[in-house]
Amino acid sequence: MTWMITGGAGYIGSHVAAALVAGGHRVVVLDDLSTGDPARLPAGVPLVRGSILDRAVLDRALRGHEVRGIVHIAAKKQVGESVARPLWYYRENVEGLRTVLEAAVEARVRSFVFSSSAAVYGMPDVDLVTERTPCEPMSPYGETKLAGEWLVAAAGRAHGMSTASLRYFNVAGAASPGLGDPGVFNLVPMVFDRLSRGLPPLVFGDDYPTPDGTCVRDYVHVEDVASAHVAAARRLTEDGDAHLVLNIGSGEGVSVAEMVGIIQEVSGHTGTAPDVVARRPGDPARVVASAESIGKELGWSAAHGVREMVTSAWAGWQLRHP
């Protein structure tokens, strides 16, 4: 059985590709390389360069590689950008997904794993976010992910495809320095960037109702995210009637202040006190996953800790910014 990974040359996609190959699966990657890098791919994995909106490219790739399972990761994913360009985000994320699903049905693909996000939850007022927590996304990006989950589930049930929507929480780290996150959009690389330029890290608000006043988040190592995809792929292959929606998180909360402290220790930049600035609109005080369901359904749990996550991310940052 061959799995196609859309967006497989990107940060998360390349880790999923490596994990699937290590698990003995045949893999082909489809990526437009707008943010991906072919050098990230495991040796021997074929790359089809093209857009998920290009039905002809999809059809040729699915037929040519005899694809029977898809891991759909390709998407635009910046919250602020989605607010500024909602029409583009809906086109890329929802219409792109619809095009992939349409091609998948035509090609008789039997299993479909969808890369979703904790952004579907919005600002949940709960200690642990379960899959039953109401979804109230606060950005077009989050809306496109929730709409994507609905579309995947509906198509799967209508056309006999087993499906899983995996809601990522805060992903960081790297399996090797060359696979580190190249973007500067999430907390860990944002702090690296500030420290590397001799600037203090920014903390957006220290007056939240949390133990140290800063936001609390659930961080998960990208290798754990990849292993969750392998577990989902295995489950969908074995159970053709499965339709799952699962959190990928550690179940442990770490405050922004705690994370900044760990980053400073790992990077050796311990002498710079963070600058506390105004809260960002829409930042909830606490978002921590319940990982109970994914443990029961897939037998999966996070294997890597926060310090290991930061250490591996720092090695990647140093490689890209010597």
If asked whether residues 139 and 97 sit together in one domain, one would say: yes
Give catalytic status of residue 89 as yes or no.
no
User: 302 and 184: one domain?
Assistant: yes
Domain match, 194 and 233 both: no
Name the pTM for this structure.
0.95
pLDDT for position 135: 97
Indicate which residue of 121, 141, 208, 219 is catalytic.
141
Is residue 107 within 8 A of residue 64, CB to CB? The reply is: no
* Residues listed for the chain: 322
Question: Which pLDDT value is given to residue 283?
Answer: 82
Contact 285, 210 (CB under 8 A): yes
- What CATH number does the domain containing 76 carry? 3.40.50.720
What is d(CA 145, CA 183) in angstroms, rounded to the nearest whole number?
20
CATH of the domain at 294: 3.90.25.10
pLDDT at 83: 92
Q: What is the pLDDT along the chain (322 residues), one digit of tens a residue?
A: 999 999 999 999 999 999 999 999 999 999 999 999 999 999 999 999 999 999 999 999 999 999 999 999 999 999 889 999 999 999 999 999 999 999 999 999 999 999 999 999 998 989 999 999 999 999 999 999 999 999 999 999 999 999 999 999 999 999 999 999 988 888 999 999 999 999 999 999 999 999 999 999 999 999 999 999 999 999 999 999 999 999 999 999 999 999 999 999 999 998 889 999 999 877 889 999 999 999 999 999 999 999 999 999 999 999 888 8
Q: Do 196 and 111 belong to one domain?
A: no
Whether residue 18 sits in one domain with residue 140: yes
Domain that holds residue 46: 2-171+219-248
Does 124 share its domain with 12? yes
At residue 140, the 3 state secondary structure works out as helix
Q: Give me the number of domains the chain comprises.
A: 2
**Residues 79 and 136 occupy one common structural domain:** yes
Q: Are 60 and 103 members of one domain? A: yes
In this structure, the answer to whether residues 28 and 163 fall within a common structural domain is: yes
181 with 235, same domain: the answer is no
Pair 148, 87 in one domain: yes
pLDDT of 184 reads 84
Tell me: do 55 and 203 sit in the same domain: no
- Residue 259 tokens, joined: 């994370």
Give helix then strand counts, H and E, for the chain.
11, 14
Which residues are registered as beta bridge partners of 286?
216
